[in-house]
Structure 1
Amino acid sequence: MNDLTIDIATSKDLPILNCLYADMDNKQLMSEEKIAEIWNEIQQFTNYYIYLAYLENKAIGTFSLLFVPTMMHRGFHKSAILDSVAIASAYRSQGWGTKMIKEALNLSTNAGCYKVTLSSNITRKRTHNFYKYLGFQQHGWSFSYQLQQV
């Protein structure tokens, strides 16, 4: 198995990110204007990073991490939110997702986080089993309130 490298995405990577996100759920690509608008908004947040995973200089996956300060737990000052995990369909079920998530956990540990949380659509049983395999545990219930149509 070749080595996977993971780097922080930059604005020049927007077309790659757009393709990875669309491939995740067989959706249409976003317009260049829309993805640039979202990128610019994300850049306003400190401690929010989008990563790209490369195999032999080809981007095959992505994930985002948001490091959030908290006063809730003494001795710990941050938690991480793992989001927007996607791997190109041609590279799924080959161990690359495992390597990506393990790197996300290492990055979170190095940032001083005491936990990493994520959410997953309730219908994605295979994905849930993947996260459990990696050591994630279901913790409580996740709730959302839909404010507008996406």
Structure 2
Amino acid sequence: MTDPVITVRDATARDVPNLLMLYETSGIDRPGENDPERAAAHWSALRKAGAHVFIAESGDGQPLGTLTLFILPLLAHATAPAALVEDVAVHPAAQGKGIGRRLIHEAMERASAAGCYKLALSSNEKREAAHAFYDNLGFQRHGFSFVVPLGGAR
């Protein structure tokens, strides 16, 4: 049996409604909490900040997953940039089918091509299945992650 065709491509502003759906169905955001018009208006700022948003789709164009990759220029590490992954979301019906793996590998390839010395992400300490997934992809647990809420969106 062959695996269904899955493509990973750079998202565009037209994909914003599907991206919001993926954030909500995966549990990153609560259903109905996103404003599609506000998100669409924010797209250019996101891209201007250097975000690379990927979307994984089935052969018939159904959105299956997404992630956002930032390449951060740095002065330390002999000016090698670092990569940061945010907002990894896979539709619950597509979980366990290699979608997240494809997205992470795309981010790793792009970060490596950009000369990044590392690719980092953080995961809520309660998400043990996600931790096992990242461990399986070769990520190493490193240090601690600290957060301070600043009053913006959740």
TM over 0.5: yes
Equivalent position amino acid for 1:43 in 2: R
Describe the SS at the equivalent of 1:80: strand
| Structural mapping, 1:1-150, within 5 Å | 1-25=3-27, 27-29=30-32, 30-45=34-49, 47-56=50-59, 57-74=61-78, 77-148=80-151, 150=154
**Using the alignment, how far apart are the partners of 2:41 and 2:125 within structure 1?**
29
Q: Which moved more, 1:84-93 or 1:102-111?
A: 102-111
Gaps of 5+ in 2: none
Structure 1 residue 109: deviation in Å?
0.8
Counterpart contact for 2:54–2:103, Cα < 8 Å: no
**Using the alignment, how far apart are the partners of 2:4 and 2:116 within structure 1?**
29
Describe the SS at the equivalent of 1:43: helix
**Using the alignment, how far apart are the partners of 2:94 and 2:81 within structure 1?**
32
Structure 1 runs (4+) greater than 6 angstroms displaced: none
Gaps of 5+ in 1: none
Structure 1 residue 69: deviation in Å?
0.8
Equivalent position amino acid for 1:63 in 2: L
Q: Which moved more, 1:95-104 or 1:78-87?
A: 95-104
Q: How many residues align?
A: 148
Q: Which moved more, 1:50-59 or 1:78-87?
A: 50-59
Structure 1 residue 37: deviation in Å?
3.6
Counterpart contact for 2:8–2:102, Cα < 8 Å: no
**Using the alignment, how far apart are the partners of 2:98 and 2:17 within structure 1?**
24
Determine which structure has the larger strand proportion and give its number: 1
Describe the SS at the equivalent of 1:109: helix
Say what the alpha-carbon RMSD is for the aligned residues. Answer: 1.6
Describe the SS at the equivalent of 2:89: strand
**Using the alignment, how far apart are the partners of 2:56 and 2:14 within structure 1?**
15
**Using the alignment, how far apart are the partners of 1:32 and 1:9 within structure 2?**
15
Structure 1 residue 14: deviation in Å?
0.8
**Using the alignment, how far apart are the partners of 2:63 and 2:107 within structure 1?**
16
Q: Which moved more, 1:62-71 or 1:140-149?
A: 140-149
Structure 1 residue 127: deviation in Å?
0.4
**Using the alignment, how far apart are the partners of 1:15 and 1:85 within structure 2?**
16
TM (norm. structure 1) is 0.91
